[in-house]
Amino acid sequence: MKLTQRPRRNRKNQQIRDLTAETHLLPQHLIYPVFVCEGSNVESPIKTLAGQSRWSPDLLSKKVAQWKKLGLTHFALFPQISEDKKNSRGTEALNDNGLLPNTIKRLKDDHADICLITDVALDPFSSDGHDGIVENGRILNDESVEILAEMSLKQAEWGTDWVAPSDMMDGRIGAIRKKLDQTGYTETNILAYTAKYASSFYGPFRDALQSAPKFGDKKTYQMDPRNIKEAVREAKLDLSEGADMIMVKPGLPYLDVIARLKRISDVPVAAYNVSGEYAMIKAAAAAGALDENRAILEVMTSFRRAGSDAILTYFAPQVAELLRQ
């Protein structure tokens, strides 16, 4: 065969494959979502998330010291709030002596070199299990945004580096940015859950926080999985309102959305490799259906290839260890 182009030449050995690789994955690209619980010296394994636990702040601080050695410096905190502290307006989210502020303070005191991301939504604190205020079976938008802005201000006061609104209420990015700027927190970043879809892949996460909705579903505020133009619309709004990073959630079923938003965004784009995606790989590996480590690295690379600048993943310590090896 008289071929001038033989693409296989660039694949013939590992050294050439590394030289010509188009996509690279580093620990700096990873954000580790961690679950926090009340108490001292508490580790509570999560049944539906093999290898993941809820940690009391003291033990979490010790774990962070270990994860830092792998190159992980970004952590997203998700508090498990006891049922007796929940109410219809999620007022525990504003408690200066609550689990979240105590965790932020402990981690920042022990590890000044890490970056913390805190979730802004009512569902972990709400007796209704929804991301906003509920009235007569409806999730109220504007009233919820007022509370979300107050939550963001509190989290900034407590010392978080990023507030991450995951609620999908209209206008909340602008309201949060305005609230933060007016009170002097101009350097607090906003990570917007821009395209958060009404997905079937959130089950283990809701189990970990015991935050499933008490009625109905979240389809009136989370996005329709059939839509991508709507994601572009949401991204343009979040960017115009002051988001410092935008995110697509879940990750694997929405690689096309990540790629689309990357093309229009002038800020970094993140992907959330959610709990259901994690659980699927763990279950398949346990059944002997695939090589877990190879599958994880392939998935992480797919996020980077699609355009993700950052990846929230429960695999973060495992990936970082594989990269070190």
Whole-angstrom distance, CA of residue 234 vs CA of residue 226: 15
Whole-angstrom distance, CA of residue 153 vs CA of residue 25: 33
**Could you read off the pLDDT of 222-273 as tens digits, one per residue?**
999 999 999 999 999 999 999 999 999 999 999 999 999 999 999 999 999 9
- pLDDT value at 142 more than 90: yes
Residue 116 contacts residue 189 (beta carbons within 8 Å): no
pLDDT at 227: 98
pTM, rounded to two decimals: 0.95
Return phi, psi of residue 118, to 5°.
-120, 140
| Average pLDDT score over residue span 86-94 | 94
Whole-angstrom distance, CA of residue 257 vs CA of residue 303: 11
* Residue in the structure block whose two tokens are 């355009």: 307
Between 210 and 144, the more confident residue is 144
Hey, which residues are catalytic here?
A: 196, 249
| Average pLDDT score over residue span 101-121 | 97
Residue 313 contacts residue 274 (beta carbons within 8 Å): no
pLDDT at 323: 96
* Residue in the structure block whose two tokens are 């001038």: 4
What are the chain's domains? 26-324 (3.20.20.70)
% of the chain at pLDDT higher than 90: 94
Could you tell me which of 275, 264, 197 has the C-alpha nearest to residue 235? 264
Q: Which stretches does DSSP call E strand in 184-243?
A: 189-196
Please check if 234 is assigned to a binding site: yes
Gap between the terminal Cα atoms of the chain: 41
- pLDDT value at 208 more than 90: no
pLDDT band at 124 (very low <50, low <70, confident <90, very high): very high
Whole-angstrom distance, CA of residue 160 vs CA of residue 231: 27
